[in-house]
Amino acid sequence: MTLTPVAPLPEHEVRVRAPGKINLSLRVGPPDEDGYHALSTVFQAVSVFEEVVATPSDVFELTVSGPQSEVVPTDEGNLALRAARLLAERVGIDAGVHLHLVKDVPVAGGMAGGSADAAAALVACDSLWRTGLGREELVELAAALGSDVPFSLTGHTAVGSGRGHLLTPALTRGEFHWAFAVQHRGLSTAAVYREFDALHQGRHVPEPDPEDDVPLMQALRAGDARALGAVLHNDLQDAALSLDPGLVEPLAVAQDAGALGVVVSGSGPTVAALARSRQHALVLAAAFTAAGVADRVLTAAGPVAGARVVSATD
């Protein structure tokens, strides 16, 4: 007798994509009593994506694939798992979830890969558990998880204040093209902020002023990549260079290859170079590779949307 194979039941699965980001401008003020720094920043979400696949489980568990996945912690400390637990607690759901992260955003690279995972996990579990929470409540949970998580939910281009978590959308025109020099030796965000404090010890650090970014906002509204390149700004760049002096090399290579502007992304060590066009971004990436100044190179365009469901099965 032959047995007829039974097709497995389709598993309920939600797939969410969330982008990495760069800070077009990052202005850092003095630390508050918790050690957090007042920021005025302009975020742009770029087309390098994390994907999170959520499936039902009795427990909270995590698997990871993609570049550098071997260095991603899969224990309780992982921000995506913390996001899922926080949402379950908030809505009083007695369920677990299996999260699979497909990583592409550099790990500990200053492009908010961990924040993108957390934002994607919130959106995925929200859909899986049909919590009925509104966008505002998700943003509130996101802010509790980390300063960059609200932006990973929102995407596009936005001005961040407070710890970077209070967002105002920014008007932009057209697309901007980027090349990234990625280093496998990551930098800890907390360590870079500590180095910023050490470098400014004994000096007055003023509150960051969003007015300083008026020319940048004008460049964005005009879709003028050349003007934007001239005003890219990062107050954490010196701290990142102090901890990782080798970063001067990718900065110099991008300049020599005609980048419109080049800046360390967030707390680094990824170096972001603004290109004239998609084609020119490939040229900049090739220059990073030829000079041997990156462990991995990426090209991307921005702005793109924040964390979104890309597919869901019932």
Active site residues: 21, 148
In degrees and rounded to multiples of 5, residue 93 shows phi and psi of: -95, 130
State the helix-helix crossing angle for 278-291 and 248-256, rounded to 10 degrees: 130
Please give the Cα distance from 122 to 82 (Å, whole number): 10
Tell me the helices (H) and strands (E) count for the chain, helix number first: 10, 12
Query: Smaller CB distance to ligand C5P: residue 36 or 290?
Result: 36
3-class DSSP state of 80: helix
Q: How far is CA 106 from CA 116, 141, 295, in A?
A: 11, 24, 10
Q: Does 150 bind ligand C5P (CB under 6 A)?
A: no
Q: Show binding-site residues for ATP.
A: 106-116
CB of 114 to ligand C5P, least distance (A): 8
Q: Which string of x and - marks every residue 213-252 that binds ligand C5P (by CB under 6 A)?
A: ----------------------------------------
Judged by CB under 6 A, does residue 305 bind ligand C5P? no
Residue choice 71, 171, 190, 310 for contact with ligand C5P (CB under 6 A): 190
Type of residue numbered 193: Y
Is the CA virtual torsion 198, 203, 204, 210 positive or negative?
Answer: negative
Nearer to ligand C5P, 191 or 290 (CB): 191
Of 35, 73, 134, 174, which lies in the binding site for ligand C5P, with binding defined by CB under 6 A? 35
Minimum distance from CB of 19 to ligand C5P (Å)? 16
Q: Is 39 in the site for ligand C5P (CB under 6 A)?
A: yes
Alpha carbon 54 to its chain centroid, in Å, reads 20
Answer whether 245's CB lies under 8 Å from 268's CB: no
* Binding pattern for the stretch 128-147 against ligand C5P, x by CB under 6 A and - elsewhere: ------------------xx
Is the CB of 148 or the CB of 235 nearer to ligand C5P? Answer: 148
Interacting residue ranges for ligand C5P, rule: CB under 6 A: 35-37, 39, 146-148, 163-164, 189-190, 193
